[in-house]
Structure 1
Amino acid sequence: MTSLRGAYRDCRRINARYGKTFFLATRLLPGHARPATHALYGFARTADELVDNPEPGSDPEAALAALERRLDAVFAGSPPDDPVFLALADTVRRYGLERDLFDAFLHSMRMDLTVTEYPTFADLDEYTYGSACVIGLQMLPVLGTVVPREEAAPSAAALGEAFQLTNFLRDVGEDLDRGRLYLPTAELAAFGVDRALLSWCRERGRHDRRVARALAALVARTRAVYRRAEPGIPLLRKESRACVGTALVLYQGILDEIVRRDYDVLTRRVKVPLPRRLTVAAVHAAGSGLRWRS
Structure 2
Amino acid sequence: MASSRAQLVEAARRSIRRGSKSFASASRLFDRTTRERVWLLYAWCRACDDIADDQDHGHAARPGAVGSGMAPENRLATIRTLTELAIAGEDTGSPAFDALGLLMREVPLTRAMVEDVLAGFALDADEWRPRSEADMLRYCYHVAGAVGVMMAVVMGVSSEDDDTLDRACDLGIAFQLGNIVRDVWEDDAQGRCYLPVEWLVEADIPPGEITKPHYRHALVPMVAHACALAREYEASARVGAARLAFRQRWAVLSAANIYGGIAREVERLGAHAWDHRVHTGKLDKLRMVIAAYGEAKRDPQPAPHPALSRRELNAMASKNRPRMDGRMDH
Please, what TM-score do these two structures have when normalized by structure 2? 0.79
Residues 72-111 of structure 1 mapped to structure 2, 5 A cutoff: 72-111=84-123
Candidates 210, 215, 224, aligned match of 1:198: 210
Do residues 244 (structure 1) and 252 (structure 2) align? yes
What is the CA distance between 1:148 and its match in structure 2?
Answer: 6.0
Give the distance between the partners of 1:261 and 1:225, measured in 2 at CA: 21
Alignment of 1:14-163 (within 5 A): 14-53=15-54, 57-145=69-157, 149-163=161-175
Using the TM superposition, give the Cα deviation of residue 270 of structure 1 relative to its aligned residue in structure 2, in angstroms.
Answer: 0.6
Contact 1:207 1:264 in 2 (8 A): no
Q: 1:284 to 1:229 in 2, by over 3 A?
A: closer
Q: Once the two structures are superposed, what CA deviation does each residue of 1:137-171 show, in whole Å capped at 9, x if it has no partner?
A: 10112212499622311101111111111111111
Moved more, 62-71 or 146-155: 146-155
Structure 1 residues 102 and 209, CA gap change in structure 2 (3 angstroms):
same
Distance 1:286 1:222 in 2: 22
> What displacement does 1:287 show?
7.1
2:145–2:173 CA contact under 8 A, matched in 1: yes
* Native 8 Å contact 2:44 2:100 kept in 1: yes
Distance of 1:243 and 1:254 partners within structure 2: 17
Give the Cα–Cα distance (whole angstroms) in 2 for the partners of residues 27 and 36 of structure 1: 12
Deviation at 1:11, TM superposition (A): 1.1
Alignment of 1:186 onto 2:207: no
Q: 1:231 to 1:113 in 2, by over 3 A?
A: same
**How far apart, in 1, do the equivalents of 2:295 and 2:119 lie?**
39
Match of 1:224 among 227, 232, 239: 232
Aligned residues: 285
Provide closer, same or farther for how the CA distance between residues 117 and 276 of structure 1 changes in structure 2, counting only shifts above 3 A.
same
Stretches of structure 1 lacking an aligned partner (at least 5 in a row): 290-294
TM-fit CA distance, 1:85: 2.1
Contact 1:166 1:255 (C-alpha < 8 Å) held by counterparts: yes
Percent identical = 27
The worse-fitting range, judged by mean Cα deviation, of 216-225 and 166-175 is 216-225
* Structure 1 or 2: more helix by fraction: 1
Give the TM-score taking structure 1 as reference length: 0.88
Bigger RCO of structures 1 and 2 (CA < 8 A, at least 6 apart): 1
Structure 2 unmatched runs, 5+: 56-60, 62-67, 298-330
2:300 is aligned to none
How big is each residue's C-alpha offset from its partner over 1:211-261, in whole Å with a ceiling of 9 and x where there is no partner? 222212221222122122221111122231000010111111112221332
Distance in 2, matches of 1:250 and 1:105, equals 23
